[in-house]
Structure 1
Amino acid sequence: MKGQQPTLGAVLRDLRARFGWTLKEMSAKCGIPVSTLSKVEHDRLTLTYDKLQQLSQRLNIRMSDLFAETSASEEPQVTARRSIGRIEDAFRVNTPNYDYYYLCTELRRKRMIPIITRIRARTPEEFGELVRHQGEELIYVLQGRVEVHTEFYDPVVLEEGESIYIDSTMGHAYLAAEGCDEAVVLGVCSSADEGLMHSLMNLHGEAVL
């Protein structure tokens, strides 16, 4: 019947279909036995809150997605959300390494967090420990040159107009490259975690707002 709330089993079947996973592959990714997943998909078993949380974290999806219609046949909802990002209206955070300008802050529960960042740190020692947070991010160099340090790769230098896309859970740091006192970048952070903005703000430590 149209409008009927789908079961957890139907939601899991839809997720598997979207990602093209077998039950065995989904089991390996989420750490829940194949037999349990099969019973859930056939509506013969449900999952405890702890298991739902494990499923959400391991598959990098929101908890709310496990209780909502995800079928591709459903008509997409048009929210008509819109926000103009102006530097003078940005929420500014100053830290020893960076000046952050958070754009479009009036929009809540964004899937993407746009940030203009002025980079001042010039050496790994000056920067300190690499940072990590949930999701992925794109950094595009607007002014200057940027030296990107990551946990698993050699440093790379980006010139104006160049960009890098990384897994944000990997330790990373952005520095003003040699011969450049500071650089300016546009960053876009994205995550299925609805608490992304909170996670980013916690990275600032003793920030000066």
Structure 2
Amino acid sequence: MADGRKTLGAVMADLRARNGWTLKEMSQRCGIPVSTLSKVEHDRLSLTYDKLQQLGEKLNVSMADLFAEQEEAPAAILGRRSVGSIDKAVRVDTPNYEYYYVCTELRHKRMVPIITRIHAKSIEEFGELVRHSGEEFIYVVEGTLTVHTEYYDPIELRAGESIYIDSGMGHAYVCGPGSTETLTVGVMSSADEDLSHMVYEAHHRLSAPEEQSAPARKTKAK
């Protein structure tokens, strides 16, 4: 990309290269058509967090490890550290969100930290609620946020406020009143000991019609 950040396409290509898979072999393992994988690798398609999680589970790769570039040397003590910055983050664009995955070099993490710019202005624009295994914490940095969930009435959060939810509950984050874009910091986690062994029963099989084309966005200061 123009800003030098690693793209989802590069992440997918690296994952395939690390395992020595052809596009056809990767397609057979994850159930995604070869043509779709090719489009993702060339950044003509994007995948939402829940779809990436499903992909990782099919390939036995955790969300925390999906973006890692190389194997991390075993640590003799529990003293791992990673300093993240948005200019080194992996950026993934979807119609509703602009994800920035940070601290990606550490493998076997039990949390997935994400900085997100939210673009959807209403639940109608957002579409169907999403669900995935684990839990998540969302903190509003800029703007206002409206949180929709399947068991509760919508709630509005302002900068400095946060929410913690069960990710298996249908949910959606959209810009709140008066905001054209909302910036959040989130942490996705799982109760399982190892994220790579999470079992998630997808409501829809990941296939070409379900993936969302990533709209072209003008490069702007973040």
Please report the TM-score for the alignment, with normalisation by the length of structure 1: 0.58
**Identity across matched positions, percent:** 58
Work out the CA distance in 2 between the residues paired with 1:155 and 1:80: 40
Alignment of 1:49-128 (within 5 A): 78-128=77-127
Contact 1:144-1:180 within 8 A present in 2 as well: yes
Kindly state the Cα deviation for residue 78 of structure 1 after the two structures are TM-superposed.
3.0
Question: What count of residue pairs does the alignment treat as equivalent?
Answer: 130
Q: Give every structure 1 segment of 4 or more consecutive aligned residues whose post-TM-superposition deviation is greater than 6 Å.
A: none
1:9 aligns with none
Unaligned runs of 5+ in 1: 1-76
1:145 aligns with 144
Give the RMSD, CA atoms, in angstroms: 2.5
Kindly state the Cα deviation for residue 195 of structure 1 after the two structures are TM-superposed.
3.3
1:206 aligns with 212
Q: Deviations over 1:122-164 (max 9, x none)?
A: 1111000001111100000000000000010000000000000
Kindly state the Cα deviation for residue 179 of structure 1 after the two structures are TM-superposed.
1.2
The amino acid of 2:83's aligned partner reads: I
Alignment of 1:168-207 (within 5 A): 168-191=167-190, 192=192, 194-195=195-196, 205-206=211-212
Instruction: Decide whether aligned partners of structure 1 residues 97 and 154 sit closer, same or farther in structure 2, where only a CA change above 3 A counts.
Output: same
SS at match of 2:136: strand
1:56 aligns with none
Please report the TM-score for the alignment, with normalisation by the length of structure 2: 0.54
1:51 aligns with none
For the pair shown, the structure with the greater C-alpha radius of gyration is 1
1:157 aligns with 156
The amino acid of 1:205's aligned partner reads: E
